[in-house]
């Protein structure tokens, strides 16, 4: 009788608004065990114990993730200590969007209830825990993103047919964002994913590691491209901005976006990045960045000094509408230049009780 009553309450809690829906740990994170540092499914309508209102300008603890594998608050996991500087914050409006309303842009077989939409301007991010590694490790981030066609884009291009918009620049002066002659006109950017941090004790130099995927508009009236960077003086890698495609690749479908830092036994820094357009889209682009020129005997990268590493969801100067799902941070030892976080079966389908096979890059492409 008690068991029957408990089951009835549990089932009702899945259907009534305002009741927390605890979706549990992402299957990929569970499969990786101690190799999964933290994960946020972004698959919940509620936060902080059943709150249904997502008010801009505050921290959130979504109800579909729990300690110790949640990224915020991070209480410590897989050898990483608790980190009080981590934030799950948005100055924009978060909107949990029912997955059923996005069936045309989500893969068949997904088990999502919702995706987390951000729209507007202002800082929005889920920071990853402070990186603390000795040589011989691979540290990665992965998330899913899709940019809606209703976004206000900088400039006009055929993929969206949006008019050139006018939006206040940083000084409050209205500028035509399709015109590169105007301040900020060709420096529009939305950050997507950043694995890094700062350590001013390293010196000389800026003490920054910035491995980032973002999109930007480099010329007037052209669609934004998704570019990559691996810079800062920690590894002093050569300047390189290879591209992962266009925003066009991630509008009628979600894209899986991944960053991996391969930290060799010698203390070298290597970076790989990948964009995979998941069904109903297709296509994959992988970038291998030039190897850093500086060896480091350890990586102690602080997030507390405004580094903002992790899943970033904000644009400069103009608002976009972006859907987000399944952010994860992983660490494997020894260093493995074939490892990727890979698919979240909750998004791409195929969830089962059997472990997933790690997705590997072609061996011939990773040797430097």
Cα of 170 vs its chain's centroid, Å = 25
Q: At CB < 8 A and 24+ separation, what contacts does 354-358 make?
A: 355/31, 356/27, 356/28, 356/31
What is the average pLDDT across 239-259? 93
Domain assignment of residue 20, yes or no: no
Question: Is the predicted pLDDT of residue 257 greater than 60, yes or no?
Answer: yes
Question: Is the predicted pLDDT of residue 1 greater than 50, yes or no?
Answer: no
* Interval 327-362: pLDDT, tens: 999 999 999 999 999 999 999 999 875 444 344 333
- CA atoms in the 13 A half-sphere facing the CB of 152: 14
What is the average pLDDT across 92-111? 95
Decide: 119 and 143 in contact? Cβ < 8 Å: no
Written as six digits, the tokens of 200 are 């001013």
Greatest Cα pair distance in the chain: 73
Domain assignment of residue 6, yes or no: no
* Interval 15-60: pLDDT, tens: 333 333 345 689 999 999 999 999 999 999 999 999 999 999 999 9
* Interval 5-20: pLDDT, tens: 333 323 333 333 333 3
* pLDDT recorded at residue 24: 64
User: What's the CA dihedral at 261, 303, 197, 307 to 10 degrees?
Assistant: 120
Domain assignment of residue 12, yes or no: no
What is the phi/psi pair of residue 212, to 5°? Answer: -140, 140
Domain assignment of residue 274, yes or no: yes
Domain assignment of residue 320, yes or no: yes
Domain assignment of residue 368, yes or no: no
* pLDDT recorded at residue 316: 63
The proportion of the chain whose per-residue pLDDT surpasses 70, expressed as a percent, equals 74
* pLDDT recorded at residue 307: 52
Question: Is the predicted pLDDT of residue 279 greater than 50, yes or no?
Answer: yes
* pLDDT recorded at residue 176: 44
Residue 64: burial class (beta carbons within 10 Å; 0-12, 13-18, 19+): buried
What is the average pLDDT across 71-75? 89
Top pLDDT among 225 and 111 is at 111
Domain assignment of residue 14, yes or no: no
Question: Is the predicted pLDDT of residue 121 greater than 70, yes or no?
Answer: yes
The top-scoring range by mean pLDDT among 119-123, 132-136, 202-206 is 132-136
196: domain range? 26-361
Top pLDDT among 220 and 111 is at 111
Cα of 25 vs its chain's centroid, Å = 17
Domain assignment of residue 236, yes or no: yes
* pLDDT recorded at residue 220: 56
Q: Which of 58-62, 87-91, 133-137, 275-279 has the lowest mean pLDDT?
A: 87-91
Structural domain count of the chain: 1
Question: Is the predicted pLDDT of residue 4 greater than 70, yes or no?
Answer: no
Question: Is the predicted pLDDT of residue 89 greater than 70, yes or no?
Answer: yes
Average pLDDT, the chain: 79
Question: What is residue 128's three-state secondary structure?
Answer: coil
The top-scoring range by mean pLDDT among 44-58, 88-102, 271-285, 308-322 is 271-285
Closest CA to 318 of 181, 214, 193, 168: 168
* Interval 157-212: pLDDT, tens: 444 555 444 434 433 434 444 444 444 445 556 888 988 888 888 877 778 888 99
């Amino acid at each position: 009788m008690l068991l029957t009553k408990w089951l009835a309450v549990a089932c009702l809690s899945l259907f009534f608004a305002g009741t927390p829906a605890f979706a549990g740990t992402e299957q990929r994170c569970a499969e990786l065990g101690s190799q999964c540092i933290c994960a946020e499914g972004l698959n919940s309508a509620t936060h902080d114990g059943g709150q249904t209102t997502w008010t801009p300008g505050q921290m959130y603890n979504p109800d579909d993730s729990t300690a110790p594998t949640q990224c915020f608050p991070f209480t410590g996991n897989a050898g990483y200590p608790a980190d009080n500087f981590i934030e799950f914050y948005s100055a924009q409006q978060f909107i949990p969007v029912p997955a059923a309303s996005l069936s045309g842009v989500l893969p068949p077989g997904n088990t999502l209830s919702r995706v987390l939409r951000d729209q507007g301007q202002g800082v929005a991010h889920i920071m990853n825990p402070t990186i603390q590694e000795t040589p011989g490790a691979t540290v990665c981030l992965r998330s899913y993103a899709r940019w809606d066609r209703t976004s206000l884009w900088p400039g006009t291009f055929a993929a969206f047919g949006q008019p050139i918009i006018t939006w206040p620049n940083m000084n409050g002066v209205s500028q035509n964002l399709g015109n590169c002659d105007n301040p900020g006109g060709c420096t529009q950017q939305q950050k997507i994913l950043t694995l890094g941090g700062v350590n001013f004790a390293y010196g000389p130099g800026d003490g920054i590691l910035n491995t980032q995927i973002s999109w930007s508009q480099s010329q007037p009236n052209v669609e934004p491209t998704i570019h990559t960077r691996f810079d800062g003086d920690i590894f002093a890698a050569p300047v390189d901005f290879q591209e992962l495609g266009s925003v066009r690749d991630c509008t009628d479908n979600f894209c899986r976006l991944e960053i991996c830092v391969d930290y060799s036994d010698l203390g070298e820094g290597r970076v790989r990045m990948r964009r995979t357009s998941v069904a109903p889209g297709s296509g994959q682009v992988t970038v291998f960045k030039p190897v850093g020129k500086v060896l480091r005997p350890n990586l102690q990268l602080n997030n507390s000094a405004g580094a903002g590493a992790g899943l970033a969801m904000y644009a400069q100067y103009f608002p976009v509408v972006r859907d987000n799902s399944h952010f994860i941070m992983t660490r494997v030892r020894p260093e493995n230049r074939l490892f990727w976080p890979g698919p979240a079966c909750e998004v791409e389908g195929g969830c089962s009780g059997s472990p997933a096979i790690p997705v590997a890059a072609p061996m011939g492409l990773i040797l430097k």
